[in-house]
Amino acid sequence: LKQNKAKVIMMSPKEHDKLMSVAQGVIHFSDIAFADSIRKTKMAPKELFKYASSASQIKVQLAARLIDQSSNLYGNIQIENPQNLKALKNCLDSTKELYKIVKSKNLKKFQKYFQANKDFFGKYTEEAYSDSSYLIDKFFERKSVKKAAKPIKPTKDHLAILGPKNTYS
């Protein structure tokens, strides 16, 4: 493995399973559930892409990429790791908490929930924003070279509104 430049990290099976319960379990679980929630809206991804930000489009693509692969592989990743249920319970609890906040329309609680996560990620949020912005720009730059969009001729029926930063409105 080392001869082929693989990164080798020694750890116990229990440590491995705990780490993978997040690195694979929660992340893949979230992507699969995310894809299913889009399916339930019956909105085709191409239709959604007309209105979604570049970052949101990539999130949809990553979920679609995952479900294009083996359900047997991803099912086993979810089912066979003994640490997954604990990690997935945390994911479900977080989702339920956020759902309750949104349902109650409590902006203060939303901001507190949001900030707690921002505080946890710390300075990494700035790096992640910068790196992901670069990747998004490069991806769509490459995509636009492949298929240049036809310019839209404005008519009296068109409306443009400038929204807050990163709303893409």
Give the per-residue pLDDT at 1: 84
Give the per-residue pLDDT at 113: 98
Give the per-residue pLDDT at 139: 87
Give the per-residue pLDDT at 169: 43
Give the per-residue pLDDT at 155: 65
The average pLDDT across 97-124 equals: 98
Of 98, 124, 126, whose CA–CA distance to 112 is shortest? 98
Decide: residue 8, CB within 10 A, 0-12 exposed, 13-18 middle, 19+ buried: exposed
pLDDT digits over 78-99, tens only?
999 999 999 999 999 999 999 9
Structure-block tokens of residue 62: 């990553």
Instruction: Please state, in angstroms and rounded to a whole number, the distance separating the CA atoms of residues 125 and 129.
Output: 6
CA torsion, ordered 60, 91, 16, 11, to nearest 10 deg: 110
Instruction: Please state, in angstroms and rounded to a whole number, the distance separating the CA atoms of residues 94 and 113.
Output: 10
Does residue 6 surpass a pLDDT of 50? yes
- Compute the mean pLDDT over every residue in the chain, rounded to the nearest whole number: 89
pLDDT digits over 27-78, tens only?
999 999 999 999 999 999 999 999 999 999 999 999 999 999 999 999 999 9
Give the per-residue pLDDT at 161: 54
Instruction: Please state, in angstroms and rounded to a whole number, the distance separating the CA atoms of residues 103 and 98.
Output: 8
Give the per-residue pLDDT at 148: 53
Give the per-residue pLDDT at 141: 85
Does residue 158 surpass a pLDDT of 80? no
Instruction: Please state, in angstroms and rounded to a whole number, the distance separating the CA atoms of residues 92 and 28.
Output: 13
